[in-house]
Structure 1
Amino acid sequence: MTRLFLLFWLTGRLLAQDALDGQWSLDLPNQEAGWLSVTKDRVELLWAVGSARPVENFTRQADTLSFEKAVRRPLAPKEEPATRFRITFKARGEFLEAEMVPSDAAATSRAVMFSGKKQPPMPPRPDLGQIAFGEPVSLFNGRDLTGWKPSRADKKNGWSVREGLLCNDTPKTDFSAYGEYANLRTEAEFEDFQLHIEYRLPAGTGGNSGIYLRGIYEVQVTHKDSKMQGISGPGAVFGRVEPTHNAGRAAGEWDVLDIMLVDRHVTVVLNGKKVIDNAPVPGCTGGALKSDVTLPGPIYLQGDHTSVQYRNITLRPRAR
């Protein structure tokens, strides 16, 4: 009887620990998205912006994971210090319950609750030769913003149409993660697709924007001489997949992107050169609208960084 009890007890402990293992989408406070990756001895976290980073000094007991994190307030002055929180996750089947509690008892911040959802395993690499797409759909009519809207109503809107171009005008020139100006998204939402889009960054500005696939995965928009290179350079899936080489053009010239998203795998052709070939994308990228990879989502253009222009935006949805 004692051995049987111990067997059940150990099995329960292992199942509780296994409940945390896997990939989790996070619905963070302030309408932001995140991603949590958990294995037996490694935890990675993407918190709203930037890239996924390893978590140091975490504790894990049964179905509970806990660690400390410094969190900065969006658009806070540089001199304002970040607030340290103790963040605790508890697995509840396919969902996570999460609580942020200030580590400093004297802090004015209060405890905040948020949630997560377990994501399915990465599908096999698709055979793109067997994938069919429908007729191209124009997403931008060259006259007005029909079919588009700011992703958040509380931001300044710098988007307009001039001379047939979709233009974002913002005074921001740095690459800081947050900005006062709005991102722009399609009203329609999509699953898998092929996307054609062309962009131009102002000459001499070190411009930076991004094209989010389904509002989840950012394909980086910058120029060949940008300080952002490699996994954050032209044509990268920002912070997730590095392009094989820099195929970007100089600022002030038009760059042409052809992107394919199929079964969470991305192919990127920049200016006629394939720089990412059917690569798996393990989770959302910083700045995503959402992180649940099972849901359709919009094409979403980053406007809270620098000025940028787009044209010739067409999409071919996957034929089912």
Structure 2
Amino acid sequence: MTLFTSSRTFFLGGILAAGLSASVFAASPYEGRWALTLPNGGAGWLGIEETGGKLQGSILWGGGSVVPVQEVKVEGDTLKVIRLSKAKNPKTQAEEQVTETITAKATGDDLKLSTVKVKADGKEFAQGDFTGRRIAAIPAKPDLSKVKYGEPVTIFNGKDLSGWTLMNPQSDNGWSVVDGVLQNRVEKGKHHGNIRTDKEFEDFNLKLEVRTQEKSNSGIYLRGIYEVQVAETFGKPLDSHNMGALYSRITPSVAAEKAIGEWQTFDITLVDRHLTVILNGNTIIDNQPVLGCTGGAITSDETKPGPIYLQGDHTNIDFRNFMLRPVVK
């Protein structure tokens, strides 16, 4: 998914990765990380921190990236988050500024929020109410040498799409199996869909192979929440939107992708909200904490098991040789 470019390293990692509880945040009841359920039911995320005596924030609104907001302030018992964006005037086609104000009130670990956008002419639109819940502190970093795995679970039989379901039944299905390869082929003018496993998982190790096509832009969603990026980025500078990144959250430590058309190996481990990604034999994300859902997640609730889902709504992509081993608690 390539909708917004930012390689910023987001905050709260040091504090929350240490496993401190939410009670540490004494300055404001709004500091911390919040899982959002947006007005349309989609998954979102809000992070608030204090830096130099001033509140700052970043937000994920459905798809795309985690991005900084313009302003964060608390008035009485109410949080206000200001976002600025651009929109085309339908009459003049000129870009005009849109100001969105999100207000929130906390009751313990729960948020009640509302949003409204204001056009340059002062007209309000896109009003909506939604909810949020404080995200629990990230557990301590797991010792992966002591993690035990169960027997492999078959998620792709190499013959057909048994065990996989198109996530939106109204979408065009570009997925098929050819010579043991799970491939997606898109056609101009059609809206192609993502697919997911019927089975759901908690923590696991997942191995697979992928082959990019021209301008490939896909993703492997872990538990339907966290996207490991799959993209044709060979030869490009390191970025949190490149091959193997946790989309817009964790930038690979090295560029390990191969050239277009070559089969590439992924070895992905998710344990206690910590992610390890080995791409083509190179560890590019090393047991790092995951601070929240990524764009396109089916839920912002990180406590739930979920499917493996593959993004197919953008471009052509090939997958094969899946092997998933669940963690044994």
User: Given the two structures, how large is their TM-score scaled by the length of structure 1?
Assistant: 0.84
Local SS of the residue matching 1:250:
coil
Do residues 24 (structure 1) and 40 (structure 2) align? no
1:307 CA displacement: 0.7
Counterpart of 2:198?
A: 187
Q: Is the 8 A contact 1:16 1:62 kept in 2?
A: no
Q: CA-to-partner distance for each residue in 1:183-235, whole Å, 9 max, x for gaps?
A: 11111111100001111112xx1211110111111111123526574221121
Local SS of the residue matching 1:126:
coil
The aligned amino acid for 1:19 is: P
The aligned amino acid for 1:165 is: V
Q: Is the 8 A contact 1:226 1:233 kept in 2?
A: no
Do residues 223 (structure 1) and 232 (structure 2) align? yes
Task: Identify the match of residue 166 of structure 2 among 123, 127, 150.
Answer: 150
The aligned amino acid for 1:141 is: N
Do residues 64 (structure 1) and 64 (structure 2) align? no
Q: Is the 8 A contact 2:116 2:124 kept in 1?
A: no
**Whole-angstrom CA distance in 1 between matches of 2:247 and 2:237:** 10
Distance 1:154 1:31, change over 3 A: farther
Q: Over the residues paired in the alignment, what is the CA RMSD in angstroms? A: 2.7
Distance 1:190 1:63, change over 3 A: farther
Question: Unaligned 5+ residue runs, structure 2?
Answer: 1-24
The aligned amino acid for 1:86 is: T
Do residues 44 (structure 1) and 58 (structure 2) align? yes
Percent identity over paired residues: 44
**Whole-angstrom CA distance in 2 between matches of 1:265 and 1:155:** 33
The structure with the largest helix share of the pair is 1
**Whole-angstrom CA distance in 1 between matches of 2:280 and 2:241:** 17
1:32 CA displacement: 2.3
Q: Is the 8 A contact 1:16 1:63 kept in 2?
A: no
Do residues 298 (structure 1) and 324 (structure 2) align? no
Counterpart of 2:276?
A: 267
Do residues 35 (structure 1) and 59 (structure 2) align? no
Q: CA-to-partner distance for each residue in 1:76-129, whole Å, 9 max, x for gaps?
A: 9xx696854322122122211111123248647352111111110111111111
Q: Is the 8 A contact 1:24 1:37 kept in 2?
A: yes
Distance 1:122 1:63, change over 3 A: farther
Task: Identify the match of residue 129 of structure 2 among 81, 92, 113.
Answer: 113
**Whole-angstrom CA distance in 1 between matches of 2:43 and 2:236:** 26
Counterpart of 1:161?
A: 177
Count of residue pairs brought into register by the alignment: 296
Counterpart of 1:316?
A: 325
Distance 1:103 1:206, change over 3 A: same
**Whole-angstrom CA distance in 2 between matches of 1:279 and 1:181:** 32
Distance 1:152 1:29, change over 3 A: farther
Q: Which moved more, 1:58-67 or 1:111-120?
A: 58-67
The aligned amino acid for 2:112 is: E
**Whole-angstrom CA distance in 2 between matches of 1:167 and 1:218:** 18
Local SS of the residue matching 1:129:
helix
1:311 CA displacement: 0.8
Local SS of the residue matching 2:33:
strand
Counterpart of 1:96?
A: 111
Task: Identify the match of residue 87 of structure 1 among 102, 105, 130.
Answer: 102
The structure with the largest strand share of the pair is 2
Local SS of the residue matching 1:111:
strand
1:309 CA displacement: 1.0
The aligned amino acid for 1:98 is: L
**Whole-angstrom CA distance in 2 between matches of 1:144 and 1:58:** 50
Q: CA-to-partner distance for each residue in 1:249-276, whole Å, 9 max, x for gaps?
A: 1111111101000011111111111111
**Whole-angstrom CA distance in 2 between matches of 1:230 and 1:241:** 9
1:163 CA displacement: 2.0
**Whole-angstrom CA distance in 2 between matches of 1:244 and 1:110:** 39
Do residues 141 (structure 1) and 150 (structure 2) align? no
1:68 CA displacement: 3.1
1:38 CA displacement: 1.4
**Whole-angstrom CA distance in 1 between matches of 2:166 and 2:77:** 39
**Whole-angstrom CA distance in 1 between matches of 2:307 and 2:85:** 28
